């Protein structure tokens, strides 16, 4: 029973890509019992929804406002226009953020595994001619979002692959992401009191029950250490040093091949094995191809890396189209087997062949402990092919020179361990 004049907070949920809106039914029922009006809908072109799929374009964004207006006009539902939020996973998460930019009636957002830069999300490190205009309207304007939403924000970084952190909650299983999302909604739509959460939370790879918490970002707890690669010469690998003398005239060359001995695993399969059965992706670095790959190594003491590694390359490519893939490994001190902890790539589709330039790779964010014999070293490997990325050029004649200048460097985020705002979630 509801009292006359009582109004209820509203949650609008848009479907994930190719998934019907019933994906949220378990969580929706629980939230409805908690006093929310829930409206799940299928975006245009999917299943029972009319129109054509718009890939989060102008029509999809306009539909969000129409759905909001429809909900608020249902007086029999007793909706509260001052307490309305969008919640979504993947495609639904991106639409929630886009909707928040467009429609100020949205007061809160829970976006799980969404995007901000549409082009970067689909073609990381690449520049696809003609795609920029398509991507721009589908990218979240963060400046506009800041204008509309000056209140609290929070970021949860979890181990796993796309949406794997929150999917168990869709089946009613105990789930940290959904639990924190509900606290957020209860706080800002229902006024319930909870302890103030940290601004940013990162799940530790070596112990998923441990979550690093940061009240400020950037955090003073993170020290960014610069490692400089040195030429490998006649050795099997080059060194990573905290200090090195640039060698402007020295370079190493690698050529294209799909068989390099360095791998980030098979798409979906490798990453799923890491998530669901804890099978790590490893490469035998000592057996890697000297012609088609190169790697660098540094022994480390007990170290926690938490944050986003960044790599800067000084290179000359023989062709106008090329791709470099970077791999960051925790390395066994004795066997030199590398356990993959991060990776990234940079792709050029229309560079000038033979022209030297500086290029940047933002690797995947990580939170990982290194140390001991099993992971007692950090390794950086480079090649021109991974099953995870579509190569820009697969010609065997493709070659890249890596120049050992002051521009060639790797920056890794080192986090102070056992600090006061490190939390263990049971």
pLDDT reported for residue 124: 62
Q: Is residue 3 part of a domain?
A: no
C-alpha pair distances (Å), 155 with each of 19, 114, 140, 161, 213: 25, 12, 16, 16, 10
Q: Is residue 133 part of a domain?
A: yes
Is residue 57 classed as helix, strand or coil in its secondary structure? Answer: coil
- 232 and 127 within one domain: no
Number of domains in the chain: 2
User: Rounded distance, CA 283 to CA 289, Å?
Assistant: 12
Measured torsion, CA atoms of residues 290, 294, 298, 302, in degrees rounded to the nearest 10: -110
Tokens of residue 194, six digits? 């909870």
Q: Is residue 253 part of a domain?
A: yes
Is residue 296 classed as helix, strand or coil in its secondary structure? Answer: strand
* Mean pLDDT for the stretch of residues 348-368: 94
User: Rounded distance, CA 27 to CA 36, Å?
Assistant: 11
Distance of CA 151 to the CA centre of its chain: 23
pLDDT reported for residue 255: 98
- 192 and 229 within one domain: no
* Mean pLDDT for the stretch of residues 325-346: 97
- 22 and 98 within one domain: yes
- 179 and 264 within one domain: no
CATH value at residue 130: 3.40.50.1820
Q: Which DSSP symbol is given to 288?
A: S
In the predicted structure, residue 420 carries a pLDDT above the cut 90? no
In the predicted structure, residue 93 carries a pLDDT above the cut 90? yes
Those residues with Cβ within 8 angstroms of residue 245's Cβ, 6 or more apart along the chain or in another chain: none
Q: Is residue 103 part of a domain?
A: yes
- 168 and 226 within one domain: no
pLDDT reported for residue 421: 52
User: Rounded distance, CA 27 to CA 9, Å?
Assistant: 15
Q: Pick the last residue of a domain from 163, 181, 197.
A: 197
User: Rounded distance, CA 126 to CA 213, Å?
Assistant: 32
Scanning 255-403, the segments in alpha helix (DSSP H) are: 269-277
Percent of the chain's residues with pLDDT above 70: 96
At residue 317, what are phi and psi to the nearest 5 degrees?
Answer: -105, 145
- 185 and 132 within one domain: yes
Q: Pick the last residue of a domain from 145, 164, 197.
A: 197
DSSP secondary structure letters along 156-218: EE-SSSTTTTTHHHHTT---HHHHHHHHHHHHHHH----PPPPSEEEE-SS-TTEEEEESSSS
User: Rounded distance, CA 399 to CA 254, Å?
Assistant: 6
Mean of pLDDT over the chain: 92
Percent of the chain's residues with pLDDT above 90: 80
Lowest mean pLDDT among 84-98, 203-217, 289-303: 203-217
- 266 and 178 within one domain: no
Whether residue 386 contacts residue 195, with contact meaning beta carbons closer than 8 Å, is answered with no
User: Rounded distance, CA 24 to CA 22, Å?
Assistant: 5
Whether residue 204 contacts residue 410, with contact meaning beta carbons closer than 8 Å, is answered with no
- 56 and 177 within one domain: yes
Whether residue 63 contacts residue 86, with contact meaning beta carbons closer than 8 Å, is answered with no
199-245 pLDDT per residue, tens = 999 999 878 889 999 999 889 999 999 999 999 999 999 999 998 77
The residues with which 169 forms a beta bridge, in sequence order, are: none
Q: By C-alpha distance, which of 119, 109, 89 is closest to 21? A: 89
Q: Is residue 216 part of a domain?
A: no
Q: Which DSSP symbol is given to 272?
A: H
- 401 and 262 within one domain: yes
| CA end-to-end span of the chain | 37
Is residue 406 classed as helix, strand or coil in its secondary structure? Answer: coil
User: Rounded distance, CA 109 to CA 114, Å?
Assistant: 11
- 261 and 153 within one domain: no
pLDDT reported for residue 247: 76
* Mean pLDDT for the stretch of residues 259-271: 88
Q: Is residue 171 part of a domain?
A: yes
pLDDT reported for residue 423: 44
Q: By C-alpha distance, which of 99, 115, 405 is closest to 231? A: 405
Tokens of residue 330, six digits? 């925790």
- CA R_g for the chain: 24
Q: Is residue 423 part of a domain?
A: no
The residues with which 177 forms a beta bridge, in sequence order, are: none
Confidence class for position 356, pLDDT limits 50, 70, 90: very high
In the predicted structure, residue 85 carries a pLDDT above the cut 90? yes
In the predicted structure, residue 94 carries a pLDDT above the cut 90? yes
Q: Is residue 289 part of a domain?
A: yes
Confidence class for position 426, pLDDT limits 50, 70, 90: very low
Confidence class for position 12, pLDDT limits 50, 70, 90: very high
User: Rounded distance, CA 389 to CA 383, Å?
Assistant: 12
Q: Give the residue numbers spanning the domain of 22.
A: 8-197
Whether residue 148 contacts residue 142, with contact meaning beta carbons closer than 8 Å, is answered with no
* Mean pLDDT for the stretch of residues 149-162: 90
Give the sign of the dihedral formed by CA 51, CA 53, CA 57, CA 63: positive
User: Rounded distance, CA 38 to CA 23, Å?
Assistant: 13
CATH value at residue 247: 2.60.120.260
Confidence class for position 54, pLDDT limits 50, 70, 90: very high
- 13 and 98 within one domain: yes
pLDDT reported for residue 125: 53
- 175 and 61 within one domain: yes
The residues with which 337 forms a beta bridge, in sequence order, are: 284
Scanning 191-325, the segments in alpha helix (DSSP H) are: 269-277
Whether residue 412 contacts residue 223, with contact meaning beta carbons closer than 8 Å, is answered with no
Q: What pairing do the DSSP bridges indicate for beta strands 322-331 and 337-348?
A: antiparallel
């Amino acid at each position: 029973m509801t009292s006359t004049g009582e109004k209820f907070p509203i949650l609008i949920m848009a479907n994930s890509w190719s998934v019907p809106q019933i994906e949220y039914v378990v969580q929706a029922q629980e939230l409805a019992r908690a006093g929310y009006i829930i409206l799940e809908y299928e975006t245009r072109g999917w299943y029972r929804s009319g129109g054509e799929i718009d890939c989060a374009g102008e029509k999809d964004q306009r539909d969000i406002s129409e759905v909001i207006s429809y909900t608020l006009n249902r007086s029999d539902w007793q909706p509260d226009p001052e307490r309305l939020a969008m919640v979504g996973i993947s495609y639904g998460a991106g639409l929630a953020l886009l909707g928040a930019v467009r429609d100020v009636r949205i007061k809160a957002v829970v976006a799980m595994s969404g995007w901000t830069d549409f082009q970067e999300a689909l073609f990381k490190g690449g520049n696809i001619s003609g795609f920029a205009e398509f991507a721009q309207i589908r990218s979240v304007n963060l400046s506009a979002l800041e204008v509309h939403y000056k209140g609290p924000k929070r970021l949860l970084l979890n181990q796993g692959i796309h949406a794997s952190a929150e999917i168990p909650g869709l089946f009613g299983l105990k789930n940290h992401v959904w639990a924190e999302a509900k606290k957020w909604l209860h706080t800002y739509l229902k006024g319930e009191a909870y302890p103030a959460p940290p601004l940013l939370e990162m799940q530790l790879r070596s112990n998923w029950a441990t979550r690093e918490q940061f009240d400020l970002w950037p955090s003073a707890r993170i020290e960014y250490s610069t490692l400089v690669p040195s030429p490998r010469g006649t050795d099997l690998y080059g060194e990573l040093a905290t200090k090195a003398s640039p060698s402007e005239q020295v370079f190493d060359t690698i050529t294209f091949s799909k068989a390099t001995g360095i791998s980030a695993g098979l798409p979906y399969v490798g990453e799923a094995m890491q998530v669901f059965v804890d099978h790590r992706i490893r490469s035998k670095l000592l057996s890697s191809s000297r012609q088609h790959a190169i790697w660098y190594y540094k022994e480390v003491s007990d170290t926690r890396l938490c944050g986003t590694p960044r790599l800067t390359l000084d290179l000359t490519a023989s062709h106008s189209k090329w791709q470099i893939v970077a791999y960051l490994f925790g390395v066994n001190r004795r066997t030199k087997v590398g356990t993959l902890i991060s990776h990234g790539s940079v792709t050029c589709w229309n560079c000038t062949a033979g022209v030297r330039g500086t290029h940047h790779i933002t690797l995947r964010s990580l939170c990982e402990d290194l140390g001991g014999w099993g992971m007692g070293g950090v390794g950086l490997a480079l090649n021109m092919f991974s099953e995870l990325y579509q190569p820009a050029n697969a010609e065997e004649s493709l070659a890249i020179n890596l120049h050992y200048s002051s521009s060639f460097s790797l920056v890794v985020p080192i986090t102070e361990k056992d600090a006061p705002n490190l939390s263990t979630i049971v």
